[in-house]
Amino acid sequence: MKQRAFWSVAVAATLALAGCGSATGTDSSNSTSGKLVVWDWKSGDKTATAYVAKAKADFVKKHPGVTVEFVAQPFDQYYTLLGAAIQAGKGPDVMMFNGGGQIRDRVDALVPLDGFVAPDQQRLTGWDAFAKDGKTYGAPVTLQGYPVYFNKTLYKTAGLDPQRPATTWDGFTADCATITKATKASCFALGNKEGIGIQFFLSAFGSGILTPQEYDSWIAGQRDWTSPHVKQVFQLWKDVNDRGLNSKGGNSTTLFTDAFGIFQSGKAVNIIGLMSDIGHWKDFNEFLGPDNVGVMKSPVIAAGATPSLPFDGGIGYAVAKWTKDPALAADLVRSLTSTEALTAFYADAGAVVSDTTVQTSSGGAAISAIVADLKTGKPALHVALSSKTIELMGRLSQQILEGTVSVDDALKQLGESDRS
Neighbours of 104 (CB within 10 A): 20
pLDDT digits (tens, 9 = 90+) for 388-404: 999 999 999 999 999 99
Side-chain-side CA neighbours of 315 within 13 Å: the count stands at 18
Which residues of 32-147 form beta strands (DSSP E)?
Answer: 34-40, 66-72, 94-98, 131-132, 135-136, 139-140, 143-145
pLDDT in tens, 49-73: 999 999 999 999 999 999 999 999 9
Position 27 confidence tier, pLDDT thresholds 50, 70, 90: very low
**Helix (H), strand (E) counts: the chain:** 17, 13
- Contact of 85 with 91, CB cutoff 8 Å: yes
Using DSSP's 3-state secondary structure scheme, residue 295 falls into strand
> How confident is the model over 73-93, as pLDDT tens digits?
999 899 999 999 999 999 999
pLDDT tens profile 300-354: 999 999 999 999 999 999 999 999 999 999 999 999 999 999 999 999 999 999 9
Q: pLDDT-derived band of residue 111, with 50, 70 and 90 as boundaries?
A: very high
Q: What is the mean pLDDT of residues 19-38?
A: 62
pLDDT for residue 333: 98
Residue 22's pLDDT is: 61
**Per-residue pLDDT tens over the stretch 234-280:** 999 999 999 999 999 999 999 999 999 999 999 999 999 999 988 99
User: pLDDT class for 21, splitting at 50, 70, 90?
Assistant: low
Per-residue confidence at 364, pLDDT binned at 50, 70, 90?
Answer: confident
Tell me the C-alpha distance between 302 and 411, whole Å. 19
Output 195 or 33, whichever has higher pLDDT.
195
Write down the pLDDT at residue 361. 81
Indicate if the pLDDT at residue 225 is higher than 90: yes
* Per-residue model confidence (pLDDT) at position 8: 41
What burial letters (b/e) apply to 328-339, b meaning 16+ CB within 10 Å? bbbbbbbbbbbb
Q: Which amino acid is at 69?
A: E
Choose among 64, 55, 57: nearest CA to 28. Answer: 64
Q: Is the pLDDT of residue 6 over 60?
A: no
Checking if the pLDDT of 362 tops 90, the result is: no
Residue 30 above 90 pLDDT? no
> What distance in Å separates the CA atoms of residue 9 and residue 15, rounded to the nearest whole number?
10
The model carries a pTM of: 0.83
